[in-house]
Amino acid sequence: MSSPIRIVAALATLAVLVAAPATASAAKSSSSSSSKASSANVQVHVDKATKAVKRMNRYARLGDGTAVAKQLKVARSQSAAASKMARQMAGNAGTGTQNVAAAQALTLAGTQYDQLVESITAIVDQVSGQVQALVATAIAPSLAGKQKIIEVLTQLLDQAPAEAKPLIASIIAALSVGDANEVVNLDQALDAGSLPSSITGIVSSALSMATGIIDQAFAMVQSIVPLLPTAVQGPLTQILNTVTSTVGTIVPGVLSTVTGLIDTILGSLPFVGGTSSSSTGQFGLGGLLDGILGGGSQSLPGDIGGLLDGLLGGLFGGGATGGGTTTPATGGILNSVTGLIGNLLGGLLGGQSAPAT
């Protein structure tokens, strides 16, 4: 998950989408601005939740359990409110522009849930007593809340404008398998052996749930790879095919590396960081994707992250977003990328998966 600064950058793209040209029917619909379900109001809830999560993390470091519990309650309620409103927008969307607006709102809410999940899984072994129980029991419903947003985003793909589908598909992939921080956090908390027995069971169950969600997401993301820019389809398919053919559950450390590869590839897309609607119809969603991605290369061993960044940067040097004929130069870069990924995965998955249960 990205830093709060990157999330703020993602939030800034809201104004761009609201200002994007709309059809006559969309304009008529937007005239009913009194509706509570709007991107602006989703942003309000996300802002409040983000502040609460920051405070919760700070109070956890300071050992103030009472304040942690208070901020956890705010973060959960505001995250849930943002999600409910974004999903309501998706349910009411009737035009391409409205579907993109709903996708933007869902992305904001999903990014917030991702931040919440990463934070509570990181502090569950930093607090104690009743507060620790509150944090531990908040993990499973927060994971479920994020998953619900991803499911609605996936449903929006069919109704979204063709030019927006690569961006929305990339956002779904990033939210689903862009990192495994919660899995690593929970695994480390259990490995430390300091959790009370009553909490160990809750955390262990949450770890199984988090790992299962990512395992299932690999297969789901495979189905939307054809919607992504052509140049990344090969590397992503290579990763997903390798992972989904692995017998058993991948151990957390390896899972983190696999998702780091995916994050690095998605982060190379030419529309990541885009904040305005352009002739290619990016609708400002690239900035939202930029808010989700970041840091994936840091989980890769050695200088593989830097090598991939360099290769992928060369791959998209021309700014193409998909389709067309692969030139010899591009083919050579792709071969280098897939070769690097193949060597890394071959070494990692050679006997490093946990037995199926």
Which residues are bridge partners to 353 per DSSP?
250
- Residues across the chain: 357
Handedness of CA 87, 88, 89, 94 (dihedral sign): positive
Rounded to 5 degrees, φ, ψ at 353 are -100, 145
Residue pLDDT, tens place only, 14-45 = 334 334 444 434 444 443 443 467 888 999 99
DSSP letter at 355 equals: P
For residue 300, pLDDT beyond 80: no
Q: 72, 56 in Cβ contact below 8 A?
A: yes
Q: What is the CA radius of gyration of the chain?
A: 20
Q: Check residue 255 and give its pLDDT.
A: 83
For residue 82, pLDDT beyond 70: yes
Residue pLDDT, tens place only, 169-211 = 989 998 998 888 999 999 999 999 999 999 999 999 999 999 9
Q: 356, 212 in Cβ contact below 8 A?
A: no
- Provide the percentage of residues in the chain whose pLDDT is more than 70: 64
Question: Collapsing DSSP states into helix, strand and coil, what is residue 349?
Answer: coil
Handedness of CA 319, 265, 271, 326 (dihedral sign): positive
Lowest mean pLDDT among 142-146, 166-170, 227-231: 227-231
- A 10 A CB-CB count for 299 gives 22
Which are the contacts of 255, defined by CB distance < 8 A and separation ≥ 6?
180, 183, 184, 211, 214
- Provide the percentage of residues in the chain whose pLDDT is more than 90: 44
What one-letter code names the amino acid at 10? A
